[in-house]
Structure 1
Amino acid sequence: MDVGVVLQTNPPAARVVELARQAELHGFSHVWTFDSHLLWQEPYVIYSQILAATRKVVVGPMVTNPATRDWTVTASHFATLNEMFGNRTICGIGRGDSAVRVLNGRPTTLATLRESIHVIRELGNGRAVEINGATLRFPWGADSRLEVWVAGYGPKALELTGQVGDGFILQLADPAIVEWTVRAVRQAAEQAGRDPDAVTICVAAPAYVGDDLAHMRDQCRWFGGMVGNHVADLVARYGEGGMVPSALTDYIKTRQGYDYNQHGRAGNTHADFVPDEVIDRFCLLGSPAYQVERLQELRDLGVDQFAVYLQHDGKAQTLEAYGEAVIPAVRELPTAKA
C-alpha cells in the first residue's frame, strides 16, 4: 500500500513545500493539495516548488474540478510540470465543492466531468483530442504521462469512475462505505469491458497519531462537516435509504449549514453536528499500531493508497510516526535473502 499526504496551500507557501519535503523523507509516495483558489494559494505554482525540492513524490490536486479551470489549461499545467521534472504529476478531479460554491456556483454535471476527464487525460498524455470541432494537442508534450483519478460518493459518480477513471478517490475511511464504493467502481469497470483491478483505489482521510482521543476528535471533526456537503447533495438527489448506505447519510440529519470560510479548518464552528462515532469511522485516530491495523483492513478491501489529511495540530508527530512505524508496516518490501 502506498501512503500519501494531503496539504492545504495556506501561506507561507514555503511551509507547504517544507511539509512536502518532510513527507518524502518519511516515505510518503504522493503529495496532494486542496484546490480552491480563493480560499488558499494557487496549487500549481506551489507544485513546481515541491517538485524542485523533492526527488520522487508524485504531486497533484485532491481535487480539482471542471468548472473553475479551463480543461486545456489544466492539462497544460500537468504536461509542463512533467516536462520540467519528469512524469511526477497526477490529476484528482471531481464535480467541484469549495472552489465553485465560494463563487456561488454549483458542482458540474457528471456529463461535464466525463468530458473534462477525457480532454485532460488525452492532452496530458501527449495525445490529440477533439475540442469545439478542432483537433488539438501539445506539440511539446509528447512524452507527458498523466493519470486521472476521480473523486465521488454517489452511485452515478461511482459508475462513471469505473467506466473512465484511472483511479478512484474516496474521501473517508469507513470500512463499510469503502467496501460498498469499491465494489460499485469495480463492477462498473467490468461492465464497461475494463479490467476492474486496473482502477487504483485511494482512500483519503485525516490521520492523527496520538493518545488524547478527545483532542484528536475535535481536531478532525471538520472532516465530517466537509464530507457532509457531498452527502447533503446525495440525499437531495437520491433521498434517504435505498441507493446510498445509511452509514453515509444518517449523520447529517442535524446539519444546518456550512461556512466555506472555515473549510477544512480544525476547530471550525459548523461541524458540531458530527458525532464522535462518525469521526472514529471516517478518520484514523490513535497509536501507530492502531493506524497499521486500520490500514491493513483497508488494504484487504482493495485500497491501494491511503492519503493522510494533515489539517490538525499534530502534523510533525504524525508524519514522523508514519515514517518510523506505519509506512514500513504496510508497504510490502522484498526481503534481502529468500
Structure 2
Amino acid sequence: MDIGIVLQTTPPARRVIDLAKRAEALGFSHVWTFDSHILWEEPYVIHSQILAETRNVIVGPMVTNPATRDWTVTASTYATLNEMYGNRTVCGIGRGDSAVRVTNGKPTTLATMTDAVNVIRELANGRSVDYKGSTITLPWAEKSELEVWGAGYGPKALKMIGETCDGFILQLADTQIAEWTISAVRTAAADAGRDPDDITICVAAPAYVGDDIEYMRDQVRWFGGMVGNHVADIVTRYGDETDAVPQALTDYIKGRQGYDYNQHGQAGNTHADFVPDEIVDRFCILGPPSAQLERLAELRELGVDQFSIYLQHDGKDHTLTEYGERVIPFVNETKLAKT
C-alpha cells in the first residue's frame, strides 16, 4: 500500500513545498493538493515547484473538476509537467465542490465529468480526441503518461468511475463504506468489460498520530462537515432512507444546517458541530501508530492501494514523522535481503 498526503495550498507556498519535500524524504509516495483557486493559491504552479525539488513523489489535485478550467488547458498542464519532470502526475477529478460553489456555481453532471475525463486523459497521453467538432492533439505530448482517478460517493458516480476512470478516490476511511463503494466501482468495471483489478483504489482521510483522542477529534471534525456537502447532494438525489446508499453514510447529516466555505478544510471551524464523535472516528484514523496500522491493514484487505492523509490539523510535522518512522516501514511486508 502506498501512503500519500493531501495539502491545502495555503500561503506561504514555500511551506507547502517544504512539507512535500519532507514527505518524500520520509517515504510518502504521493503529494496531493486541494484545487480551489479562490480559497487558496493556484495548485499547478506549486505542483511544478514540488516536482522540481523532489525526485520520486507523484503529484496531483484532490480533486480538480470539469467546471473551472478548460479541459484542453488542464490536459496541456499535465503533459507539460510530465515533459519537464518525467511522468510524475496523476489527475484526481470530481464533479466540483468548493472551487465552483465559492463562485456561485454548482457541481457538473456526471455526463460532463465523463466527457472531461476522456478529453483530459486522451490529450495528456498524446492521443487525439474529438472536441467541439474538431479532432485535436497535443503534438508534442507523445511521451506523456497520465492516469485520471475519479472521486465520488453516490451509486451513479461510482458506476461512472468504474466504467471510465483509471482509479477511484474515496474521501473517508470508514471500512464499511469503503467496502460498499469499492464493490460498486469494481462491479461497474466488470460490467463494462474492464478488468476491475486495473482500477487503483485510493482512500483519503485525515490521520493524526497521538494519544489524546478528544483533542485529535476536534482537530479533524471539519472533515465530516466537508464530506457532508457531498452526502447532502446524495440525500437530495436518493433520499435518506433508500437502499441505494448505506445509512452509515447518510444518517449523520440530519443535524447539518449549512456550510461556510470560508472555513473549508480548517480545524476548529464553526459549521461541523453536527458531526458526532463516532463519525470522526470512522471517517478518520486517530491514535498511536498501532491504531494507524490496524486500520490500514483493514483497508488493504478491502483492496485499497493507497491511503493519503489529509494533513489539515496542528500536528502536521509530528504526524509526518510518526508515519515516516513508525507506520510506513511496517505497512507492507519487508523483503529479506537473504533467504
TM-score, length-scaled by structure 1 = 0.99
Partner of 2:271: 270
Partner of 2:228: 228
Q: CA–CA distance in 1 between the matches of 2:42 and 2:291?
A: 35
Partner of 2:296: 295
Report how far residue 105 of structure 1 moved. 0.6
- Which amino acid in the other structure matches residue 224 of structure 1? G
Q: CA–CA distance in 2 between the matches of 1:331 and 1:22?
A: 21
- Superimposed CA distance per residue, residues 256-313 of structure 1 (whole angstroms, 9 cap, x where no aligned partner): 0000000000000000000000000000000001100000000001100000000000
Partner of 1:97: 97
Question: Within the alignment, does 1:45 sit opposite 2:45 as a pair?
Answer: yes
Equivalent position SS for 1:194 = coil
Task: Note the aligned Cα RMSD (angstroms).
Answer: 0.6
Equivalent position SS for 1:308 = strand
- Superimposed CA distance per residue, residues 1-20 of structure 1 (whole angstroms, 9 cap, x where no aligned partner): 00000000000000000000
Question: Within the alignment, does 1:251 sit opposite 2:263 as a pair?
Answer: no
Equivalent position SS for 1:99 = helix
Deviating 4+ runs (over 6 angstroms): none
Report how far residue 332 of structure 1 moved. 3.6
Report how far residue 62 of structure 1 moved. 0.2
Q: CA–CA distance in 2 between the matches of 1:332 and 1:311?
A: 29
Amino-acid identity (%): 72
Report how far residue 333 of structure 1 moved. 4.0
Report how far residue 234 of structure 1 moved. 0.2
Report how far residue 336 of structure 1 moved. 0.8
- Which amino acid in the other structure matches residue 313 of structure 1? D
- Which amino acid in the other structure matches residue 42 of structure 1? E
Q: How does 1:108-127 map to 2 (within 5 A)?
A: 108-127=108-127
Q: How does 1:162-201 map to 2 (within 5 A)?
A: 162-201=162-201
- Which amino acid in the other structure matches residue 313 of structure 2? H
- Which amino acid in the other structure matches residue 149 of structure 1? W
Q: How does 1:206-225 map to 2 (within 5 A)?
A: 206-225=206-225
- Superimposed CA distance per residue, residues 59-110 of structure 1 (whole angstroms, 9 cap, x where no aligned partner): 0000000000100000011000000000000000000000000011110000
- Superimposed CA distance per residue, residues 135-192 of structure 1 (whole angstroms, 9 cap, x where no aligned partner): 1111111100000000000000000000011000000000000000000000000000
Equivalent position SS for 1:157 = helix
Q: CA–CA distance in 2 between the matches of 1:304 and 1:332?
A: 14
- Which amino acid in the other structure matches residue 219 of structure 1? Q
Equivalent position SS for 1:270 = coil
Equivalent position SS for 1:302 = coil
- Which amino acid in the other structure matches residue 129 of structure 2? V
Q: Is there any run of 5+ residues in structure 1 with no aligned partner, and where?
A: none
Q: CA–CA distance in 2 between the matches of 1:331 and 1:119?
A: 36
Aligned length: 338
Q: Is there any run of 5+ residues in structure 2 with no aligned partner, and where?
A: none
Partner of 2:36: 36
Report how far residue 132 of structure 1 moved. 1.1
Partner of 1:10: 10
- Which amino acid in the other structure matches residue 17 of structure 2? V
Q: CA–CA distance in 2 between the matches of 1:183 and 1:337?
A: 38
Partner of 1:312: 313
In structure 2, the CA distance between the partners of 1:194 and 1:235, relative to structure 1 (3 Å rule), is same
